[in-house]
Every structure is written in structure tokens, then in C-alpha cells.
Structure 1
Amino acid sequence: MPDWEEDGEEQPFEVIPGSGHYHALIGTDPIDVGAEMQIAEKLSLECDEPVYSIERANDPWTVMSWRNGALEILEVGPEALAKSLGCPLPGSDESSDPAVRKPLRKVAWAEGVRAEDALRVLEEDAGEPVPPGQYRLEDRPRGLLISSGTSDIGYADLTVSERLPRARVYGVVASPNLDTFFVNVLQGGECIGQFAQPPYEIPHFPVVHEIMGEQSPERILAALGIPAEWFRNE
């Protein structure tokens, strides 16, 4: 895990102390949609008590319980769970209305990649077959569209980029109305450029001001062949 303090970088999360055994780890970077699941899974291997994660990509948000790396989806609201654990979510009173909270969804476009190749490297990285429905891999004339039935592809874009280093992969994260919109341009497992709206005050990656010659979210999505409707609330 990176040492942000030594590197002088701002930590991409905030620790909220709870009143009991539980504390909250809140991500501060909207580009990291899906990171909560990876963190919770790893923590559950070290903890005796269950670890909980809240997936922001869905609306309503999905609450998950993790024990020894195993996942269980819970039928409970995120605010209710957090309150019961003695660790209320920041701004929960204001954010309980789904119209106020903006779920971020993630999809990726991989140039020159075919579905069978992407599936192969994703399974190689996971060390096991990918569960049916975890990813939607759609071959297009110029490449591959990677999405998921859960609205969150996790780090599939980074994995494909790393395992197929000649491919250029565009990881797109956006809110339903596209007022929050990020594109990570990945190659060889590295982010070689990032388009961000609104822009970061202190960018973490090289800044690009256009994607495929386009500068607005709607036109960028059209250039990538990604339907803007995919990000809308269902």
C-alpha cells in the first residue's frame, strides 16, 4: 500500500472514528469507485468481526458484509447500518434522499481488445473463473466495451491495461447527470492522462483537456461509443 504521508500526497480517504469497535474509512476520490470492496475483502481476512462495505455505484447503495474474504449482500440501508455500528456516515441526514446522493458508475472502453482476450486476462488475474454476470464484455468494431450489471467494474480497466500493454484503455466514471465526469487513459497498467470535470485542484495524474478530440462529457462518450443513458438512474 502506498505511503501517502512519505510521498507528500493527500490521502485518498478519511478515517471517521466510531463510538465502539467500528470505524469508517471514507474515500475522498470519486475516481476510486469500487475500491471499498477490495479494501473490505482484504481487511476481512485479518479481522475476527465482519467488515462492511457500501458500494456507491448502485442506487440505492449496496451494503455488503465480508467474513474471511467471503461476500454477503445485506438488506439494510447504509445509514441504518452505520448508526447501529456506532459510526454514522458524514452528512447522512442530508444524503438519505437518493435524489441528493449521486451514485457514480464506471465503464471502460478498450481499443483493439476482444472480449475473449479480456476475459482471459481477468480470469488470470483473479486466479479463478469470472462469475457469470460480473462483467458485460461487448465486442465493438474498434474495441471492447466493459461494463457490469452492478454498475461497477472495479479495477477491470486497469487489469486489462496491465495484462494487454499494447491496448489503450479508457476508464470512465460519471454521475447520472454527468456533472461529475472522469476519464482515466490507461496503458501498460499506468494512467498516462486524466480528464476530470470538475478538475482537481491538485491533479494526481497528467492532465488532458480532451479525449479523442472532444471536450464535453456527452461528446466524449459518443466518441468512445458509450451511451450516456448508461449512467442515468434506473
Structure 2
Amino acid sequence: MTRFTQTVLLILLIFTSQLVVNCSSDKDPIDEIENSTSWMDDLEKSLGTGTKAKLNNWIAKGLDQTKLKEAFSKSKDKAALLNNLETAQSIYHQRVYIEDWNNIPGIEKSDYVPNGLANGKTSPWNNPDLDLPAVEAANFVDATATELPAGTKIYRVTGGNPAGGYWTKEIPKSVGDVIGGTAVQPAWNNFSKFYRYEVPQAKTLKVWQGTTARQPIATGIINPHLPGKAIQLFIPAAVRDDAFKNSVQEIQLPW
């Protein structure tokens, strides 16, 4: 056997060996697809028909599949997790349940340390119904009783009560401004509607104004948290009478 023939045979042997290795290591694309959703099939069996469809629907709406899979993998009560996801206020609330912190705007990835007022405050209006109770004072770093003049416009993002207590004088630029800036837990709000109130002519509006305190992102979670820092308003219930409620207008969301 000549040196040339030996060289050719050696090259063919190396090529054949590499081909065998590559073929044996290549994954069947069909197998990969099946494996990527096999966890859904398992949940369908344990949690009931329709579970997989719900999961796929949430993923189609923006829920991260990897985080969703991890959450179910770690959960000791998968039925409870499924129920929480079904009854969540919004996709941001769902992301809290699956700990998808990268996709909740406005949060701060550090430990929550309370910085709200420790006590309520007495108003200068000689009316205890206009005082700032301790439960509301805890949502402020500082709070001052003030009267907004006629023509002042205030704003509120909510999916619930249009005439609730908390408002801002600034229009939020994003849902992150609401979640982070005014420290609104996703469990409290679905951020689906936007309201405006304008103080009527020849009137003033008695409010408490101050810097929003930090909040935990959810009960029992220390890190991440909601940093607050935005200026917010609290309107006492006694001020939010029928005339106030009838003057609240729904407007288009600013984002």
C-alpha cells in the first residue's frame, strides 16, 4: 500500500468517524418540540382537561414560558398556582406568581425596607373626617394637608373604583410609573382604566400630598420591592362625595 493510499484511507476514516458522532448527537426536532411541552401534558393529566390550553393562551399573551415552567416545577401546590394565575388581576400579577421580575416594570431589585410614616396626621381643617389615618399615612414618606385650586386636574389608573382615594397630579408615562412610582402592587390593580378629575370653578379640593413610600411587591416577598418616590395625593372619603364621583371622567390610557 502506497503512502498516498494510506493517507486517503486515513482521511476517509476520520470523516466517517466524525459523521457517526454528529449523527448520533443530533437531536430530532420533533423530539425537541415534544419535550418542550411535555411538562404541560403532565399538568393536563394532574390538573385536568383544559390546563394546557390555558397555559398556551397565557404564553401567547406574553407570559414567559420558561418562568411559567419553573414556577410549576417548584410549586408544592400546583392546583393553587393554577388558580392564582387564573384569578390574577393582570399579566403583571401573573408575573409576580411566577417570579418573572424582569418583566414587571418599575420594580427595584433590592430588599424592601419600610419608610412610611409611623403615625397618622391631624388636618388643619378642624374635622377629624379629613385627618390622615395611620393606615394611609404608612403609604407616605411625608404628607402635607393642602387645598388644590379650581382648575387643577388629577389622575388615577385603576381597574376598580374610579373615585378611589389615591391620585396624582402628573399623568403617568407608563404602567411602570404606577407600579413603581406610586408603589401599587399588581394584586391591587389591573391598570386597565384611566380617570381624570378637575376641581370645579370657585371650589378647592382638600387632599393630603406627599412622597410615596416603598411597598413590598407582594405579601411575603422582600426582594424585589416597589420603590415609590413619586408625589401622590390622598383624598379623604368625606371629600369624595357624590358631586366628586359624578365629576370623575374616564379618559384614554396614556400608554
TM-score range with shorter-chain normalisation? under 0.3
TM-score (norm 2): 0.19
Higher Cα radius of gyration: 2
Q: Which has the higher strand share?
A: 1
